[in-house]
Amino acid sequence: MSGNLLEVQGLFAGYGEVPVLRDVHIAVGRGEIVALVGSNGAGKTTLLRALSRVLSGTGKLTFEGRDLSCLTPEQVFKLGIVQVPEGRQLFDQMTVLENLMMGAFARRDRKAIQETLASVYELFPKLYERRTQRAGSLSGGEQQMCAIGRALMAMPRLLMVDEMSLGLAPVIVDQLLEVLSTIRKQGVTVLLVEQDVFAALEVADRGYVMETGTVTQSGTAQALSEDPEVKRAYLGI
Amino acid sequence: MTLRTKFVLALAATLVLAALPWFAPPTLVQFGIATLLLATLAQGWNIIGGFTGYASFGNSVFFGLGSYGTAIAMVQWQLPFGVGLAFGVLLSVLFALVMGIPVLRLRGHYFAIATLALSQVMTAIVSNLEIAGRNIGLVLPLLNGDALFYELSLAVLVLATLTIFWISRSRFGFGLIAIRENEDAAASMGIDTTRYKVLAFALAGIFSALAGGIHAYWITFIDPVSAFDLSLNVKMIIMTVFGGPGSVLGPVIGAFVLSAISETLSTEVSSVASLFFGMVIVAAVIFMPRGLADLIRRFRKTGWRYFSENVRSHRL
């Protein structure tokens, strides 16, 4: 086997009778940022759900050589596969600090949790300023920072970010993408799921394009963003 | 107030309450038993409704199962009261585990409706059980000892409140609050939401069943309609919400205050008591929708503005 952190081979999954994913193959190497792009309804979020075992499916899913298919969502989380869910899903009534601490819910090492908290504050100084504010009162960009910070509090090995750019100004998206590059340098692998194809490919090393439930193209980020097919499909040129 | 002074105050209040049967008239002791049991039920509802955010109408089932478990064990099997109580709790916990796993998948209104249906079904089932005396009910052995029932009720309430105090500062409690605030987010943070919810439901069941068992032995007669009375569940909700859902002492204070108001009204203006009681509830919901606990916490800072702000923020 190669040194891939995550491998998905021949994954089929769906909701009830409705099949969504058809024979999906992807691989994510250690320390990579991999973009998973595609339009609405391509099955990107479904793939994430299948990876975090909220949704069952058939096919081979391995994380560091470990088979995921027989694990519960909590066990997958403990292995270090952590999601930043679409729409941020913060605990609105709780403070920023409480939200961050919820990310460390499954951890018991108090001292190390404080260290992680310090590094999250270093990454997002805004969150430190606003630590006693209710998360629901933050701006959209700050909320997304809080959601990423919360996921980082769980010390992920693989961070899966779902639709990070949703409803955010392009300037903020660029800032957040930069943060993802920093996180990667700290040893966290990132799987970035995006509709904003070109923003995602800007920071990613490699990318997969999904259409109607299957991967139609893959390659280095640069090759994909220069690919005439991708350009035509997503930019209309 | 520091936690220490709060704890000392609560301890002093408990000791005064415990000494009550030695100097109070019998009617007050009887009122005390009923109030303490209601407070225990409110605390049970607080766990599932206040902390976890699941508006349960099934807590009267726990009360009924506690009543019937105790009654069946004592009347049909001639077992002592303690064993009966334990049997009632066992039934209640089993019910919480078996019904909780499917029903707690539902959210919001759907959960409320499903538990509502369950409590109706239980009346019908028990009415047809030979061992439960069908729809006639069961008559328990008579025990004259209001003081004993009073102290027992107080002990169970203290146990329930200490458990909630523990919940409010434990990982388990934070997990429940996370589920209340945003269940999807809680799940994506690696919390086994189903397990947490079922545990909360079972914990609520334990205390409600204890209250039911004590009530059955005290009142010495139970029948299906009164044991699974839905209005009791409504009372639990009103008292918890009045006192402050998700707080440690709120539901207890809510139960005490509302029972006192209700009792005073029914002696002063007996025929229209429930009308006035209803007005008290409506006023409470308008002026302090987050309960007494929140009022006490915030009143010092905001003063009388607290009430006008509540009215305004809820666009009433």
pLDDT of residue B269: 78
Q: Is the pLDDT of residue A237 over 60?
A: no
Q: Is there a contact between A210 and A44 (Cβ–Cβ < 8 Å)?
A: yes
pLDDT of residue A1: 45
Domain assignment present for B51: yes
- The residue that leads in pLDDT, A202 or B61, is B61
Closest Cβ opposite residue B190 in set A92, A93, A154: A154
Domain boundaries, chain A: 84-155
Could you give phi then psi for residue B197, rounded to 5 degrees? -65, -40
Could you give phi then psi for residue B83, rounded to 5 degrees? -65, -40
Average pLDDT over residues B169-179: 94
Whether A103 and B186 lie within 8 Å, measured CB to CB: no
pLDDT of residue B275: 83
Beta-carbon pairs below 8 A across chains A and B: 52
A154 three-class SS: coil
Whether B189 and A77 lie within 8 Å, measured CB to CB: yes
Closest Cβ opposite residue A102 in set B178, B184, B192: B178
Q: Is there a contact between B133 and B241 (Cβ–Cβ < 8 Å)?
A: no
pTM: 0.88
pLDDT band at B73 (very low <50, low <70, confident <90, very high): very high
Please check whether residue B174 touches A, CB under 8 A.
yes
Residue of B7, B121, B102 whose CA lies nearest to B61: B121
Q: How far is A85 from chain B (nearest CA, A)?
A: 7
pLDDT of residue B107: 86
Domain assignment present for B131: yes
Average pLDDT over residues A117-135: 94
pLDDT band at B109 (very low <50, low <70, confident <90, very high): confident
Q: Which residues of B touch A109 (CB under 8 A)?
A: none
Helix or strand (DSSP H, E) at B24: none
Find the residue in B nearest to A161 (Cα). Answer: B188
Whether B190 and A73 lie within 8 Å, measured CB to CB: yes
Q: How far is B284 from chain A (nearest CA, A)?
A: 22
Tally the residues of chain A: 237
pLDDT of residue A236: 63
| Maximum alpha-carbon separation in chain A | 53
Domain assignment present for B272: no
The pair of three-digit structure tokens given for residue A82, joined into one six-digit string: 């952590």
pLDDT of residue B119: 87
Please check whether residue B58 touches A, CB under 8 A.
no
pLDDT of residue B316: 53
Structurally, chain B folds into a number of domains equal to: 1
Q: How far is A84 from chain B (nearest CA, A)?
A: 8
Q: Is the pLDDT of residue B40 over 90?
A: yes
Name which of A81, A84, A102, A109 to mutate to probe chain B: the one with the most chain B Cβ atoms within 10 A of its Cβ: A102
How far CA A56 is from CA of A11, A12, A68, B51, B186, in Å, comes to: 10, 9, 10, 30, 20
Helix residue ranges per DSSP H, A62-169:
73-79, 96-103, 110-123, 125-129, 140-152
Domain assignment present for B303: no
- The residue that leads in pLDDT, A235 or B106, is B106
Question: Packing angle between helix B26-45 and helix B193-219, nearest 10 degrees?
Answer: 160
- Average pLDDT for chain A: 90
Instruction: Tell me which of A114-123, B64-73, B74-83, B293-302 is least confident.
Output: B293-302
pLDDT band at A101 (very low <50, low <70, confident <90, very high): very high
Q: How far is B38 from chain A (nearest CA, A)?
A: 29
pLDDT of residue A16: 84
Find the residue in A nearest to B172 (Cα). Answer: A105
The pair of three-digit structure tokens given for residue B90, joined into one six-digit string: 């066992």
Find the residue in B nearest to A79 (Cα). Answer: B190
pLDDT of residue A112: 93
Residue B225: which residues within 8 A CB-CB, separation 6 or more? B123
Find the residue in A nearest to B189 (Cα). Answer: A103
Q: Is the pLDDT of residue B183 over 60?
A: yes
pLDDT of residue A153: 95
Report pLDDT digits (tens) over A165-201.
888 999 999 999 999 999 999 989 999 998 888 888 9
Helix residue ranges per DSSP H, B182-304:
183-188, 193-219, 224-227, 230-243, 250-268, 273-287, 291-302
What dihedral angle (degrees, nearest 10) is formed by the CA atoms of B70, B73, B76, B79?
Answer: -120
Please check whether residue B190 touches A, CB under 8 A.
yes
Q: Is the pLDDT of residue B48 over 50?
A: yes
Report pLDDT digits (tens) over A48-91.
989 988 888 889 999 998 899 889 888 999 999 999 998 889 99
Instruction: Tell me which of A50-54, A101-105, A119-123 is least confident.
Output: A50-54
Q: Is the pLDDT of residue B237 over 70?
A: yes
Domain assignment present for B282: no
Whether B181 and A54 lie within 8 Å, measured CB to CB: no
Q: How far is A68 from chain B (nearest CA, A)?
A: 15
Report pLDDT digits (tens) over B264-303.
888 887 777 778 888 888 888 888 888 888 888 888 888 8
- Average pLDDT for chain B: 91
Q: How far is B302 from chain A (nearest CA, A)?
A: 19
DSSP of A158-180: EEEEESTTTT--HHHHHHHHHHH
Name which of A105, A143, A153, A158 to mutate to probe chain B: the one with the most chain B Cβ atoms within 10 A of its Cβ: A105
Sign of the C-alpha dihedral computed for residues A78, A48, B176 and B58 taken in this order: negative
Q: Is the pLDDT of residue A2 over 80?
A: no
> Which amino acid is it at B217?
Y
Average pLDDT over residues A206-225: 90
Please check whether residue B313 touches A, CB under 8 A.
no
Q: How far is B180 from chain A (nearest CA, A)?
A: 9
| ipTM of the shown complex | 0.84
Closest Cβ opposite residue B174 in set A72, A77, A105: A105
Closest Cβ opposite residue A93 in set B171, B181, B192: B181
pLDDT of residue B315: 61
Domain region containing B125: 26-229
The C-alpha atoms of residue A235 and residue B125 are separated, in whole angstroms, by 64
pLDDT of residue A106: 87
